[in-house]
């Protein structure tokens, strides 16, 4: 009968346990020196080796010839324990045997001496499932058990274990297994089992396992049932993933505000039997990757991604504002929560896609706060908040030129402040309310350009963005080091459209008066001095 991989490759010694060196070293030292505790508590997420270490500990303390704290695996006791036939080792699932009667049976049995080994070992898995009465019944025996009894308790939820139990056990915390260790173990097993697995597929399985080796081996079993050559495509098909290519396509729809294309892509994935909740989770994880790339200097330390995919993710993160990424994560998490309440999963996923492509439709507080912040930034930058006049048809987005032309429009007239009676003309310049988001993008990717444009404002006139600044070096700076293209790229990432670029001199509303022509005592003195032929110098 076929034995699944996680059972076949369960570690038999502490040295075979993956990713838990601190725990295994401590247990080996205790067995080697004979300084054994009467009760152990193993805490950690699923698939991290808690039950495996409990089994190894039970074998090692009853082994007739232990080797450096490990069971020999050859003696009669080790072989019997491996086959589950050693009467001195009892495994109990607290999820199924959680009552006070089950615990009383254990307490009564613990009074008897071991049959063939040195210790009676009781392994209670998922101990947090025990009832309060069962915990109370176990308490006294756990505090002062017979000298020949060892309790090993394992749990994934330590907060549900009473403090009175925690204080009577020697605690070991099992951390999540690093993805690199899981991938290395998968390669080793594939080599021994006679099939191949690509490095990218191994890392994808390790990422999906979320630190649990057992989950990774279960997923690998599904993959090899499809193909003996495990690739990333095989993993995606076996697990039901949409894949990174679809994630980047959905991101493109969001950036271009193309709601129709996003809904078509969701429908395509639904027709190919992709689970909408898993798609929502996958998309949330994708935006988490973008968030880390946006905020961390070395995202490779936190993300388990192939080098090419990491570079592509970093490039996409550079084109988005952090507020847009956080808003997308919030939208997706709210959609996933509603999926759990029984709502139609496809409808929820489609609603999330619409909100991602059209943020103005999202009425959540976080979306409203984001829009308010954009308006406040625009006011601080000096932009007017008059509504933009509707145009008959929007101009087609022009391609971004290789070298943007910076022009100083001579015929541009200052735009008077809008009033309630008269809004700006449909074909006149209007305030660029998202200019603060453009500057935010520049602050991450071009500090020099950001500093140059700090304090500037912008207007939109047809297919041009007119930058208004009193900095005399802006024009020269724009013509160097491809700075204009960087600015146009930032504008496109915010607006979803391509524009030409222009510079507009600030409007001078009050000219400095001539001191001689002005009124006042000083002006009178200057006029009389000039009439008398005295030299007058103005600085």
Give yes or no for a contact between 359 and 495, defined as CB atoms under 8 angstroms apart. no
Q: Please state, in angstroms and rounded to a whole number, the distance separating the CA atoms of residues 458 and 485.
A: 17
DSSP summary character for residue 70: B
Choose the weakest-confidence range: 42-51, 210-219, 504-513: 504-513
Q: Among 105-114, 423-432, 467-476, name the most confident range.
A: 105-114
Report, in this order, helix, strand and coil percent for the chain, each rounded to 5: 50, 10, 40
CATH 3.90.1010.10 is the classification of domain 179-239: no
Quote the pLDDT of residue 305. 80
Residue 457 token pair: 């404002």
| Interval 248-265 mean pLDDT | 89
Distance CA 153, CA 128 (A): 9
* Lowest mean pLDDT, pick from 34-48, 292-306, 386-400, 453-467: 386-400
- Band (pLDDT 50/70/90 cuts) for residue 396 is very low
Exposed (0-12), middle (13-18) or buried (19+): which is 436, by Cβ within 10 Å?
buried
pLDDT at position 499, please?
85
- What is the DSSP pairing of strand 170-174 with strand 196-197? unpaired
* Fold matches, 5-174 and 400-409+427-504: no
For residues 10-22, average pLDDT:
91
Separation between Cα atoms, residue 374 and residue 440, nearest integer Å: 11
- Alpha carbons 232 and 223: distance in angstroms, whole number: 10
3-state secondary structure of 360: helix
List pLDDT tens digits, range 507-528: 654 444 555 555 556 566 666 6
pLDDT at 424: 41
Quick one: pLDDT band at residue 344, thresholds 50, 70, 90? confident
DSSP 258-327: -HHHHHHHHHHHHHTT--HHHHHHHHHHHHHHHHHHHH-S-GGGT----HHHHHHHHHHHHTS-HHHHHH
Question: What pLDDT band is residue 21 in, cutting at 50, 70 and 90?
Answer: very high
Tell me which of 184-188, 237-241, 522-526 is least confident. Answer: 522-526
For 338-356, the DSSP string reads HHHTT--HHHHHHHHHHHH
Q: Which of 16-30, 172-186, 370-384 has the lowest mean pLDDT?
A: 370-384
Q: What is the pLDDT of residue 403?
A: 37
Q: Could you write out the DSSP letters of every residue in 398-453?
A: PPPPSSPPPB--SS--PPPPP-SS-PPPTTS-EE-TTHHHHHHHHHHH-HHHHHHH
pLDDT of 405 reads 45
pLDDT digits (tens, 9 = 90+) for 310-342: 889 998 888 888 888 888 999 999 999 888 887
For range 385-399, the mean pLDDT: 42
Four-point Cα dihedral 173, 178, 184, 189, nearest 10? 50
pLDDT of residue 24: 93
Per-residue pLDDT at 489 exceeds 90: no
Report the sign of the C-alpha dihedral through residues 343, 347, 349, 355, in that order. Answer: negative
Assess whether pLDDT exceeds 70 at residue 388: no
Cβ–Cβ < 8 Å for 208, 219: yes
CATH assignment of 5-174?
3.40.50.300
Query: 463, 497, 503: which is closest to 483 by C-alpha?
Result: 503
Is the predicted pLDDT of residue 150 greater than 90, yes or no? yes
pTM for this predicted structure = 0.63
Tell whether the model's pLDDT for residue 392 goes beyond 80: no
What are the extents of the domains in the chain? 5-174, 179-239, 244-362, 400-409+427-504, 510-539
Mean model confidence pLDDT for the chain: 81
What is the third-level CATH fold of 400-409+427-504?
Answer: GMP Synthetase; Chain A, domain 3 (3.30.300)
Asked: is 244-362 a CATH 3.30.460.80 domain? The reply is: no
Tokens representing residue 378 in the block: 């625009």
* pLDDT, tens digit (0-9, with 9 covering 90-100), for 95-134: 888 888 889 999 998 888 998 889 999 999 999 999 999 9
> What average pLDDT score do residues 47-76 get?
91
For residue 372, name the pLDDT band (cuts at 50, 70, 90).
low
Q: Over the stretch 271-288, which tens digit does the pLDDT of each residue have? A: 888 888 888 999 999 999
């Amino acid at each position: 009968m076929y034995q699944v991989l996680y059972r076949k490759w369960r570690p038999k010694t502490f040295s075979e346990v993956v990713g838990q060196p601190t725990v295994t070293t401590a247990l080996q030292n205790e067995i080697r020196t004979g300084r054994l505790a009467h009760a152990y508590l193993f805490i950690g997420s699923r698939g991290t080796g808690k039950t495996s270490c409990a089994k190894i500990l039970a074998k090692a303390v009853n082994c007739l010839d232990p080797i450096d704290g490990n069971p020999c695996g050859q003696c009669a006791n080790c072989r019997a324990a491996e086959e589950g036939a050693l009467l001195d080792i009892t495994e109990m699932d607290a999820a199924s045997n959680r009552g006070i009667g089950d615990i009383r049976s254990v307490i009564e049995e613990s009074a008897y001496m071991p049959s063939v080994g040195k210790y009676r070992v009781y392994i209670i898995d998922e101990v947090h499932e025990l009832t309060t009465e069962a915990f109370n019944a176990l308490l006294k025996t756990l505090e002062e058990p017979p000298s020949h009894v060892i309790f090993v308790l394992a749990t994934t939820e330590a907060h549900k274990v009473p403090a009175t139990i925690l204080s009577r056990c020697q605690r070991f915390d099992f951390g999540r297994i690093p993805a690199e260790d899981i991938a290395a173990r998968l390669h080793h097993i594939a080599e021994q089992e006679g099939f191949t697995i690509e490095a990218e597929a191994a890392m994808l399985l390790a990422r999906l396992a979320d630190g649990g080796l057992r989950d990774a081996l279960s997923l690998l079993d599904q993959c090899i049932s499809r193909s003996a050559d495990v690739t990333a495509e095989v993993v995606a098909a076996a697990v039901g993933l949409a894949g990174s290519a679809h994630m980047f396509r959905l991101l493109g729809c969001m950036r271009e505000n193309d709601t129709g294309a996003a809904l078509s892509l969701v429908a395509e994935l639904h027709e190919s039997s992709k689970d909408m909740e898993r798609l929502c989770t996958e998309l949330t994880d994708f935006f988490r990757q973008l968030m880390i790339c946006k905020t961390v200097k070395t995202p490779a330390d936190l993300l388990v991604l192939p080098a090419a995919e990491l570079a592509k993710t970093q490039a996409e993160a550079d084109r988005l504002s952090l507020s847009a990424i956080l808003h997308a994560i919030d939208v997706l998490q709210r959609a996933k929560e509603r999926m759990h309440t029984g709502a139609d999963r496809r409808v929820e996923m489609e609603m999330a896609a619409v909100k991602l492509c059209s943020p103005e439709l999202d009425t959540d507080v976080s979306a409203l706060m984001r829009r308010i912040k954009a308006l406040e930034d625009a006011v601080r930058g000096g932009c007017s908040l008059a509504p933009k006049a509707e145009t008959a048809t929007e101009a087609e987005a022009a391609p971004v030129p290789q070298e943007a032309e910076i022009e100083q429009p001579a015929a541009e007239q200052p735009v008077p402040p809008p009033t309630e009676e008269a809004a700006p003309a449909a074909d006149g310049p209007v305030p660029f309310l998202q200019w603060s988001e453009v500057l935010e993008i520049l602050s991450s990717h071009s500090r020099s350009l950001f500093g140059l444009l700090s304090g500037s404002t912008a207007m939109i006139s047809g297919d041009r963005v007119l930058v208004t600044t009193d900095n005399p070096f802006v024009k020269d700076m724009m013509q160097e080091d491809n700075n204009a293209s960087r600015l146009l790229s930032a504008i496109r990432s915010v607006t979803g459209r391509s524009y030409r670029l222009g510079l507009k001199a600030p409007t001078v509303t009050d000219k400095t008066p001539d001191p001689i022509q002005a009124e006042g005592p000083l002006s009178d003195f200057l006029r009389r001095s000039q009439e008398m032929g005295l030299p007058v110098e103005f600085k």
